[in-house]
Amino acid sequence: MGIQKILNAKAEYGVPVKIFTNDIDEETLHQLRKMAQLQFIHSHIAVMPDVHLGKGATVGSVIPTKNAIIPAAVGVDIGCGMNALRLNLKGSQLPDHLGALRNAIERKVPVGFEMHQQIRAKASTLSPLEKRLKIITDKHPGLRRMLRNFDLTWQKQIGTLGGGNHFIELCLDESDFVWIMLHSGSRGLGNVIGTYFIERAKKEAQHRFGHVPDQDLSYFTQGSASFDDYVEAVLWAQEYAFENRREMMRLILEAIRPLLPNFQMTKEAINCHHNYVQQEWHYGEQVFVTRKGAIRAEVDELGIIPGSMGAKSYIVRGKGNPESFCSCSHGAGRKMSRTKARQLFNQQDLILQTQGVECRKDKHVVDEIPAAYKDIDQVMAYQTDLIEIVHTLKQVMCIKG
């Protein structure tokens, strides 16, 4: 059985916080207490076992709100999430050395701050996005000033990875089948949209009657022009992130086909967000559910829970647990900051902890070392009430930005 404990917020309007782990620090608990003071939280806040301190709102939290949305809870990597699919290839059919595969993917998929030299996405993908984006930027022209070469940049970034904890992996499951798995979001324009509306919410909060326990928890109320504009923009960014992952997967398949035996994709394909907001029905009401570092886990819904560069990952099936708002963790979760990881570990540590994985092993990715993350097996043990494991994956190649 999984573990759940309840933190009762000590505030006049505090709601309970239901936590599906014992591994949580006091600073994160303090952040959760502040979130629980918001008067528009519906029922309670659910906290996943990969929980850790976040900017504005806690990573690993599921926040149901009535008639309000907190832009900082969604964050700036709007629509960040995972895409995975299984091939009908076995690990024994992969080359003995995976460097050529990794190089082929890196030539097709720009990583870090890089983007495509030419627009790669199809017009059928771009045209509807472009029309909706023009409506958004006509109302908020300031967005265009926040991204260099605005129109070209967002289009050239479809099908690109980004940096930080974003990755592309080749994995093997328990039956030795090959999986392609990737983690990315809405790139530069998603960041711009998130930043713009977070700042707008903070400015509007200065003129609104009512207590906000933290400036980063500033919100838009339903019925206001800013609320409507934010919903329009955030839904656009979430769709953009979805299309970014889909285009990236297409390019990866294109890159590896010449280097592998003929293969087909199986029906097991998943594309899911873990930083997003959408309307859902919970505890008798239609509410806005913000998942900040959590994935939806409705009954029989498939999801992806990745570990770190040197650990296992999981394909899971949701159990639809109402107390988690039908959610589960989005990964292992960091147990230390990037700065601390660079202080504690070096390149040699990274080499040792990623043995057997074809990946970057230089000092610039030490902050992504497996030891900087929680134990994925323990994280999974805490959420047996939320999901069941369908496949266990072990990466053999990892590309980081």
Is 165 annotated in a binding site? The answer is yes
Is 226 annotated in a binding site? The answer is no
Tens digits of per-residue pLDDT, 262-306? 999 987 789 999 999 999 999 999 999 999 999 999 999 999 999
Is 166 annotated in a binding site? The answer is yes
Residue 11 pLDDT class (50, 70, 90 cuts): very low
pLDDT of residue 310: 84
Segment 333-350 shows an average pLDDT of 95
Is 77 annotated in a binding site? The answer is yes
pLDDT of residue 5: 73
| Cβ–Cβ < 8 Å for 293, 330 | yes
| Cβ–Cβ < 8 Å for 275, 241 | no
| Cβ–Cβ < 8 Å for 34, 8 | no
Residue 2 pLDDT class (50, 70, 90 cuts): low
Is 60 annotated in a binding site? The answer is no
Collect all residues with Cβ–Cβ distance below 8 Å to 251 and sequence separation of at least 6.
Answer: 105, 108, 109, 120, 159
Rounded to the nearest 10 degrees, how much is the dihedral formed by the CA atoms of 30, 290, 73, 219?
A: -100
Is 52 annotated as catalytic? Answer: no
Tens digits of per-residue pLDDT, 200-234? 999 998 776 556 788 899 999 999 999 999 999 99
Segment 144-157 shows an average pLDDT of 97
Is 284 annotated in a binding site? The answer is no
Handedness of CA 374, 165, 238, 248 (dihedral sign): negative
Of these residues, 116, 140, 273, 330, which one is catalytic? 330
H or E stretch at 270: strand 265-273
Asked whether the predicted pLDDT for residue 9 surpasses 80, the reply is no
Ordered DSSP codes for 53-64 = --SSS-EEEEEE
Is 79 annotated in a binding site? The answer is no
Distance of alpha carbon 394 from alpha carbon 401, whole angstroms: 20
Is 275 annotated in a binding site? The answer is yes
Pick the range with the lowest mean pLDDT from 81-95, 134-148, 199-213, 230-244: 199-213
Beta strand 45-52 pairing with 59-65? antiparallel
In the chain, pLDDT over 90 holds for what percent of residues? 90
Residue 141 pLDDT class (50, 70, 90 cuts): very high
Is 397 annotated in a binding site? The answer is no
Q: Where are the alpha helices (DSSP H) in 310-391?
A: 338-344, 347-353, 376-382
| Domains of the chain as residue ranges with CATH | 5-335+373-400 (3.90.1860.10)
What is the number of alpha carbons within 13 Å of residue 42 lying toward its C-beta? 24
pLDDT of residue 41: 96
Closest CA to 84 of 401, 393, 397: 393
pLDDT of residue 177: 97
Distance of alpha carbon 360 from alpha carbon 74, whole angstroms: 30
The residue written with tokens 């990794």 in the block is 102
Distance of alpha carbon 304 from alpha carbon 85, whole angstroms: 10
